[in-house]
Structure 1
Amino acid sequence: MTGLTAAGGVLFRQASGTGGTEVLLIFRRGVWDLPKGKKEQKETIEECAVREVAEEIGLNRLPNIVEPLLKTYHEYEQEGVHFGKTTHWFAMQLSSEVASFTPEEKEGIERVEWYSLRRAKEMVGYDNLRDVLGELENLISKP
């Protein structure tokens, strides 16, 4: 098995009007997901996380890490090779509002949308992402 290290982020904001928390989801290969990607050599986990989030949603500036969340692990097969991927997740925010996002089409991303945290937990296509969003929920509910 080939081990991979990746990082990603849950970009969140306070919704205008409702005051609830919204998170940014990406739609890739028929599934709602969170932005993430493989770590490059000589890059820290944090550098990877902010770079991947910025690239996948089309930001021209990097988001800010608020706090580490958790690590997830999953295995998959691609072209006959078995991979085990550990992904490091971070809670992130933008320093200012962004009017629109540009999905990274070469990564198969079709849409980038804000959803309420509750709705996002229902929509994500992988169980471990519900754990990541639950960890964000725990973080923002701390007094």
Structure 2
Amino acid sequence: MYKVFINEKKLILSEKPEIVERNIAFEQDLQFDIAMDLLQNTSTKDVAIYHNDVEELWSKFQNHYQVIEAAGGIVINPENKILFIYRLGKWDLPKGKIESGESRDDAALREVEEECGLSNLQLLDFISTTYHMYHIKSQPVLKKTYWYHMSYSDAKTPIPQVEEGITKVEWKNKVEIQQDVEKSTFNNILLVLEDFLSNHDIS
């Protein structure tokens, strides 16, 4: 199963119908655009497109749209807190576009360092991949973001990359995440946090 977010609404690609407002049996690529139209231009909150070979379905979906890849991280400090950025009224995790010729893990480290003003991060392990859609010059784009677990042991205070619209960078514990972040973040960020916290304990 794959979950793609479009304006915080959910498109599921799966092997069978799901518990959603609208299920579409896949027959042709046009149905991708029909699902997108439902999510963008109606009150429909979630749609599933299903096919007995979900990997083939996912491959067709990716080939139907322009794909941009990005990478970022969940960074843990010695106090066992997670690093968050605040941008455009939402809490987020640091991430950014993978440059030409750059590896995913190198891009993840570079983006976290640039957006948070830190260095000497240690890359630990891969967490998960999230997917969301947005538009460039009215054309839909699929953004794939690869997330990595990182650690930071220095005492330097993070500095927001203001030229990227980041106004705050803060370390947050579990209670602060529940009280602050979960109430004002994106659905794909909630997915990453869920994946990470299912295997890691934080304060």
TM above 0.5, yes or no, is yes
> Is 1:11 the counterpart of 2:69 in the alignment?
no
Matching residue's letter, 1:114: W
Change (3 A) 1:54 1:123: farther
Q: Which has the higher contact order (CA 8 A, sep 6+)?
A: 1
Q: How many residues align?
A: 134
The correspondence for 1:112, drawn from 152, 164, 169, is 169
The correspondence for 1:65, drawn from 123, 129, 135, is 123
**Pairwise CA RMSD of aligned residues?**
1.6
The 2-side partners of 1:124 and 1:118 are apart by 14
SS at match of 2:198: helix
Q: TM-score, normalised by structure 2?
A: 0.61
**Structure with bigger gyration radius:** 2
Higher alpha-carbon deviation: 102-111 or 72-81: 72-81
The 2-side partners of 1:51 and 1:38 are apart by 10
Partner of 1:138: 198
Unpaired runs of at least 5, structure 2 = 1-64
Partner of 1:45: 104
The 1-side partners of 2:117 and 2:159 are apart by 4
Partner of 2:155: 98
Change (3 A) 1:4 1:63: same
Unpaired runs of at least 5, structure 1 = 16-20
> Is 1:30 the counterpart of 2:30 in the alignment?
no
Superposition deviation, residue 123 in structure 1: 4.3
The correspondence for 1:84, drawn from 136, 142, 145, is 142
The 2-side partners of 1:62 and 1:27 are apart by 22
Q: TM-score, normalised by structure 1?
A: 0.85
The correspondence for 1:126, drawn from 165, 186, 189, is 186
Per-residue displacement from partner, 1:85-118 (whole Å, max 9, x unpaired)? 0000001001x22331111111100000011135
Greater fraction of residues in strand: 1
Identity %: 34
